[in-house]
Amino acid sequence: MSNDEVLQCAERYLFRSIHPLISIGTASDRYRGWTGQIYSEELYKGQINSRTKQVGHKNFREEVLPVDSVREYFRHFKVLEIDYTFYAPLIEHGVPTSCANTLKQYSMRMGPGDRVFLKAPQMFFAQKLRRGKDYAPNENYLASDAFTRQFYEPAVDLLGPNLKGIIFEQEYQRKSERIPPVELAAQLDTFLSSIPPDNRYQVELRTEAYYCKPVFDVLQKHGTGQILSHWTWLPTLKKQFSRAGNRFISAGGQAVIRLMTPIGIRYEDAYARAFPFDRLIEEMVQPGMIAQTAQLMWEALRDKLEINIIINNRAGGNAPGLARRIVSEFVAMGGKRESLDP
C-alpha cells in the first residue's frame, strides 16, 4: 500500500491495512461519540442504552451502542482492548460471570482476522484494592491458581485464536509504600512460573522505579512483554524505551504501546475534558505522544516486531481521531520511503 493510500484509508478511519506488522485499536468500544467515524447512526436506532457513570465527584451520562456494533468496529480496526474484564473474573463460584457472558457475545461477532487484548482482573495483579474510600492489601495478589482457573482458562476457551494478548496492569505504588524492585521481580518470577506458559502476556507497571534491570530480566526470562504506556505519572514513551536499553521487551514477537492519558493529568480530569469522546480536544493532545508513538512504530518495524497501538479516548478526546493523527505522523516520518510495503 502506498503512502497516499494509507493516508486515504486513515482519512476514512480505516486502519486495518496500514502495514502487516501494525495493529491499531482502541481501549474499549461502543461509544456513541464515534458515530459518523466508526459507527453508522442508522444501524443502531432504538438500541442505544444510557447509563450514569461517576468519575471523581461528577456524574456523566454515557450512551452505549449494542454489542452488535463490534462487527462494524472491526471493519476499521484489527485489534480491540477489552477493559471490562479488569473489574471481575470470568468464573466465580464455578459459574460464568456477567463479564464472561458479555465476552461470549463479543466472540460470536468476531471474524477470523479480528483480535482482542483482555485486561486481566485487577484482583490478581493489583497490590491493593479499593475498599470503600480506602485501599486495602489484596488477598488475591498474584494468586496463580485462581488466575488460571477463573480467568485464563475460560478466556482461552471463549476466544480461541482471537485472543491476541492478556494485559496485566499494576497500579502506581507510592514511594512510601512500594516494595523494592528486586522484591517485585522475585514476586513476578514466582507468578509467571506458576501460570500456564503463554507468549501473549503483557505487563504494564505504572511505577517508574520498577523500570529496571531486575524486573526486565524476569519479563525476558518468561517471554513476557513490557508495555510502554503514556499515562499520568509515568515518564515519556521515549524515556520508558530508553530505560529498557532502547529495545522492546516483547512477547511472541508482539510489542504494545498504550496511550491512556496525557502526562500529568489525572484520570478523572482527563475523562471530564474528553467526554463525550466525539472529537479531538487539541489542548489535551500532547505532541510528544504522537511523535514518539510514530517513532516507536518505525523502531518496531526495523526489529521485525508487530507493534500494537492501543488508544484511549482520555488521551486526547477521541481515539479514532488520535489514530488518524498517529498514522499521518508515521507516514511523514517515513521520509523518502515510497511505500509502507514490508
Q: Which domain, by its residues, includes 88?
A: 3-333
- The Cα diameter of the chain in Å comes to 59
What does the alpha-carbon distance between residue 257 and residue 292 come to, in Å, rounded to a whole number? 10
Does 339 map to a domain? no
Does 340 map to a domain? no
Does 222 map to a domain? yes
> pLDDT (tens digit, 0 to 9) for every residue of the chain, 342 residues total?
899 999 999 999 999 999 999 999 999 999 999 999 999 999 999 999 999 999 999 999 999 999 999 999 999 999 999 999 999 999 999 999 999 999 999 999 999 999 999 999 999 999 999 887 788 999 999 999 999 999 999 999 999 999 999 999 999 999 999 999 999 999 999 999 999 999 999 999 999 999 999 999 999 999 999 999 999 999 999 999 999 999 999 999 999 999 999 999 999 999 999 999 999 999 999 999 999 999 999 999 999 999 999 999 999 999 999 999 999 999 999 853 434 444
What does the alpha-carbon distance between residue 311 and residue 293 come to, in Å, rounded to a whole number? 11
Does 338 map to a domain? no
Does 342 map to a domain? no
Predicted TM-score (pTM) of this structure:
0.96
Q: How many domains does the chain have?
A: 1
- What is the phi/psi pair of residue 81, to 5°? -95, 120
* CA-to-CA dists, residue 279 to 74, 81, 86, 88, 165, angstroms: 20, 20, 26, 31, 29
CATH number of the domain bearing residue 302:
3.20.20.410
Bridge partners (DSSP) of residue 130 are 135
- What is the phi/psi pair of residue 79, to 5°? -140, 150
